[in-house]
Structure 1
């Protein structure tokens, strides 16, 4: 394994840093807080002892590490997700996210709105003082990233997740909140059973691997500022990790599964500072942002809602049809693909926009990305995972959202009235009606559950 771009050089350490752990150069003044298994954070209400005990790592990013912890204040010692931000980003740019999360937790947690369950819940928020500075710490309900829980969900389950995604976005919009960066990587799956079982039971399903951190130069990497070891992200090191959670997933049935919208770091509400739209993920970037066809002073709630709706269309496409509508590697390629789906319905001001591609490449990209061609490609794919009866209604649904003209995109409330999304085509009732597709691997995994044979499945 060679050096990873932007990461600490492998030769700086006696033990090769794991590729499934965070960049060690992020530890130091202003950087990550060094965390070890068994660490305790915050205090119990009333100040009687520590509250959260670190059990495992759930993930990491450029600005934070995320941990599975035991809430020792809860009656059942339930698990929670703890996000510890780097010191240099704590207090900067977080005001929107924290105020929105606190508002949803304290005032807008409206049980009457079905989407209230489809946005991640902020349970606690506090400051942590460590060797690398002061860190903001956010405590959320335990939720696994959808990209990590990559199981072969049945069509009925995917449709249910799609409905919950629309409900969650509708809930945010109804309370004057724009998400700003909606895509599959910012979705999580909450298993409600985890609210009532001990965190140690969740931990039993996760593999654990540690890598010692032994720097060759203690002046460059002062030991007091570094963790003694890194903890690998469990879904990275084990291809069967998601399958190990199947017993926990199926224990409560489909009603126990909730898709939740996560990461409100690019969100904003009425009267709040608006983050720069260009910072959003390319995979679900709306055409008006992709082309830079906006003036920052004119970006408002309506602009953000319409961009969210485009992102919703991209995310539903991937969630329901197991395809990405715009798999381009650059903005130019993606714009050509968008024009292909528009099939001539391109706003006048966007016609003839310059792209750095030759004419043959433009023609090819547009021709391969029409609605009819996408449909044909899906049905011809031998690994296609969507019942044919569901392809057309799913395409008709996302077609309402993937409209180049922002004002013509269907509102989330309108999408919630889509008959197929709410009731399905009936195709799943003729076959598998369960949470997962019935494949040889899932049958084997179910058969070995509870027999101590998960490692060999």
Structure 2
């Protein structure tokens, strides 16, 4: 039995993709091991921290509790980190009433160096664009910005609104990691309003829509911050030996099946203008549109393909596409992911393949994959029939299937726009 056949059997489906993704990753950290740890929704989330070797020339800026930035922002606690930044809860010392912000400090080599980053320009632009649009309130906005010089170089600092945990953390708190359909619909509508505004009003493609970049709004920031600080005082998990602070998201009330939530899209670090794209290779691999794999031109519809994968994952508790390399490198993870797409959605059209500069890396002249000869076709309906999400009715699933199909089109121009998707029966 080949490894692809084995995966088929073990997942009880046509692709090993549908085994549940393991998102816990172990990293060495000061001679110990730290992992992504999630507690319940009514407590803070503690995460593995950035690698200490990234605190070097051109890397992260070392930050200390109580430190003041720009003579205005006092650091209170650490909220999180990313590949190109750390994020801190800070108090605005110039405000007469308590006012808290999120201070995002970029690595020194991520801004103003040889590689372009549009984040500051994009954040300034969206904060000034059509605030009457319903999508405006579903994006995290820039409050201030400045340059801070430290031992590792000059760092762009972005002052943003404070949010609570991300939707990935929220998803983990529900049975089988499946959001109730009521919550899923709320998130979907608000994301689509935000994308409609970003694409059409702002001329921006996010390129990185994923559960980690969808944050939940805090109804009362000052109250939530005070509760957060009280929890920090009574917990030793705020410290890692020899290493500064761990990240802790701000806790608020438990989200239940009937909760009403507001969300915001964040992190425009790899976003692009529609007419001036940052790079050819975009999106996390599991959410990547086929034209990006093939090296074909891409447009704002990549956000639609990516969001289809996101909402499937949030409601089903598993990833839609995730390529893995074959035994002894018989095929690459990229080719495997294209195979998964073909198994689920059928052959990639000639028109799409012809536009791709990298198509000959994956396909022969007849459109067959070069290294994966045996495919196991199945339908989206078959896949959805395996669900264990009891909050979704059979009728709902038929509408949900049609909703996904409207986004999972190989030809970018055939994907429905955010405005069109908001009219879909599932919503």
- Please report the TM-score for the alignment, with normalisation by the length of structure 2: 0.76
Matched with 1:291 is: 294
> Cα offset for 1:340?
2.4
| Alpha-carbon distance in structure 1 between the residues aligned to 2:213 and 2:370 | 30
Counterpart-to-counterpart distance in 1, 2:189 and 2:315: 10
1:404 to 393, 398, 410: 410
Q: Helix, strand or coil: the match of 2:319?
A: coil
Secondary structure in 1 matching 2:108: coil
After TM superposition, the structure 1 = structure 2 runs for residues 139-218 of structure 1, keeping only pairs within 5 Å, are 139-143=159-163, 144-150=165-171, 151-152=173-174, 153-174=179-200, 175-194=202-221, 197=223, 199-205=225-231, 208-213=237-242
C-alpha distance in 2 between matches for 1:156 and 1:392: 16
Query: 2:266 pairs with 251, 262, 268, which one?
Result: 262
Residue 393 of structure 1 is matched in structure 2 by: 399
Measure how far apart 1:344 and its partner are. 5.0
Q: CA–CA distance in 1 between the matches of 2:33 and 2:76?
A: 21
RMSD after superposition: 2.8
Alpha-carbon distance in 1 for matches of 2:273, 2:351: 31
C-alpha distance in 2 between matches for 1:125 and 1:353: 50
1:348, distance to aligned residue in structure 2 (A): 5.2
Query: How do 1:18-57 residues align onto structure 2 when only pairs under 5 Å count?
Result: 18-19=34-35, 20-43=48-71, 51-57=72-78
Counterparts in 2 of 1:288 and 1:209: CA distance versus 1, 3 Å? same
Pick from 323, 332, 341 the counterpart of residue 335 of structure 2: 332
1:402–1:409 Cα contact (<8 Å) kept: yes
1:130 aligns with 2:157: no
Which residue of the partner structure matches residue 359 of structure 1? 373
Higher mean alpha-carbon deviation, 79-88 vs 320-329, is at: 320-329
C-alpha distance in structure 2 between counterparts of 1:17 and 1:341, whole Å: 38
Find the aligned partners of 2:280 and 2:141 in 1 and give their Cα distance.
24
Instruction: Give yes or no for contact 1:118–1:165 (8 Å, CA) kept in 2.
Output: yes
- Tell me what 1:375 maps to: 384
Asked whether the 8 Å contact 2:117–2:269 carries over to 1, the reply is no
State how far apart, in whole Å, the 1-side matches of 2:50 and 2:348 are. Answer: 45
Q: Report the CA distance between 1:209 and its aligned residue.
A: 2.3
Q: Deviations over 1:98-126 (max 9, x none)?
A: 11101112x21x33211001111111111
Identify unmatched segments of 5+ residues in structure 2. 1-24, 36-47, 325-332, 354-362
Kindly indicate whether the alpha-carbon contact (under 8 Å) linking 1:183 and 1:283 is maintained by their aligned counterparts in 2: no
Question: Are the counterparts in 2 of residues 159 and 320 from structure 1 also a CA contact under 8 Å?
Answer: no
What CA distance in whole angstroms lies between the structure 1 residues aligned with 2:305 and 2:224? 39
After superposition, what is the alpha-carbon deviation per residue over 1:178-216, rounded to whole angstroms, capped at 9, x for unaligned?
11222222221122322x547333333555421243xxx
Q: 3-state DSSP class of the match of 2:168?
A: coil
Q: What residue number does 1:223 align with?
A: none
Q: 1:283 to 1:74 in 2, by over 3 A?
A: farther
CA distance in 2, matches of 1:149, 1:73: 34
Shift of 1:270: 5.0
- Aligned pair count? 360
Aligned residue for 2:309? Answer: 314
Structure 2 match to 1:448: none
Give the CA deviation at 1:95: 4.5
TM-score between both structures, scaled by the size of structure 1: 0.71
Kept in 2: contact 1:17–1:211 (CA 8 A): no
Q: CA deviation at 1:353?
A: 4.0
Pair 1:245-2:248 in alignment: no
**Residues of 1 paired with 2:275 and 2:281: CA distance?**
20
